[in-house]
Chain A
Amino acid sequence: MALHISEFCIACDACRQVCPNDAIAEDRPWYLIDADKCTECSGDHPEAQCASICPVEGAICDELGVPLNPPGSLTGIPPELLPRLAATGGGSVTTGGGA
Chain B
Amino acid sequence: MDLPVIPIPPAAAAGGGCSSKGCGTGGDHLAGLPDAIRRKIQDHPCYSEDAHHYFARMHVAVAPACNIQCNYCNRKFDCSNESRPGVVSELLSPDQAVRKVLAVAAEIPQMTVLGIAGPGDPLANPERTFATFRMLSGKAPDIKLCVSTNGLRLPEFADEIAQHNIDHVTITINCVDPDVGARIYPWVYWNHRRLRGRDAAAVLIENQQKGLEMLIERGILVKVNSVMIPGINDRHLQEVSKVVKAKGAFLHNVMPLIAEAEHGTYFGVMGQASPTAEELQALQDECAGDMAMMRHCRQCRADAVGLLGEDRGAEFAMDKVDVMDIDYAAAMEKRARVREDLLGKLDAARGAKQAVRAAHEDAQAETAGLRPVLMAVATSGGGLVNQHFGHAREFLVYEASPEGVRFIGHRKTDLYCSGDETCGDGESVLDRTIAALAGCEAVLCSRIGFEPWGALEAAGVAPNGEHAMETIDEAVLAVYREMAAAGKLAIPAPLQKRA
Q: Give A contacts to B, CB under 8 Å.
A: 10-14, 17-18, 45-47, 49, 52-53, 55-56, 74-77, 81, 85, 88, 90-99
Contact = CB atoms under 8 A, between A and B. Distances in A.
B65 A14 contact: yes
Interface string B399-423: 0000000000000001111010001
A14 B435 contact: no
A61 to B, nearest CB: 17
A91 B423 contact: yes
25 contacts: A11-B64, A12-B65, A13-B125, A17-B124, A18-B189, A45-B192, A46-B192, A52-B192, A52-B193, A52-B194, A53-B189, A53-B194, A75-B266, A76-B186, A77-B269, A91-B81, A92-B425, A93-B79, A94-B417, A94-B424, A95-B415, A95-B417, A96-B415, A97-B438, A98-B278
A74 B276 contact: no
Interface stretch (B21-29, B69-77, B130-138, B308-316): B69-77
A99 B186 contact: no
A97 B31 CA distance: 32
B120 interface: yes
B432 A97 contact: yes
Contacts of B120: 12, 14
Contacts of B194: 47, 52-53
Given A13-B65, A52-B193, A98 B275 contact: yes
A92 B425 CA distance: 8
Interface centre among A18, A53, A81 (most CB of B within 10 A): A53
A64 to B, nearest CB: 21
Contacts of A13: 64-65, 125
B54 interface: no
B75 A55 contact: yes
B427 A12 contact: no
Interface residues of B, number: 53
Contact of B69 (A74, A97, A98): A74
B interface SS class: loop
Contacts of B372: none
Contacts of A14: 64-67, 120, 124, 189
A91 B81 CA distance: 8
Interface string B285-301: 00000000000000000
A interface SS class: loop
A26 B262 CA distance: 29
Interface of B: 64-67, 69, 71, 74-79, 81-82, 91, 120, 124-125, 186-187, 189, 192-194, 259-262, 264-266, 269-270, 273-279, 414-417, 419, 423-425, 427, 432, 435-436, 438
Contacts of A47: 192-194
Given A52-B192, A56-B76, A85-B269, A93 B81 contact: yes
B90 to A, nearest CB: 12
A75 B124 CA distance: 19
B230 to A, nearest CB: 8
A90 B79 contact: yes
A76 B427 contact: no
Contacts of A85: 261-262, 264, 269
Given A92-B425, A93-B419, A97-B415, 5 more contacts: A18-B192, A46-B193, A55-B75, A76-B71, A96-B260
Contact of A53 (B67, B74, B269): B67
Nearest to A56: B76
A14 B269 CA distance: 25
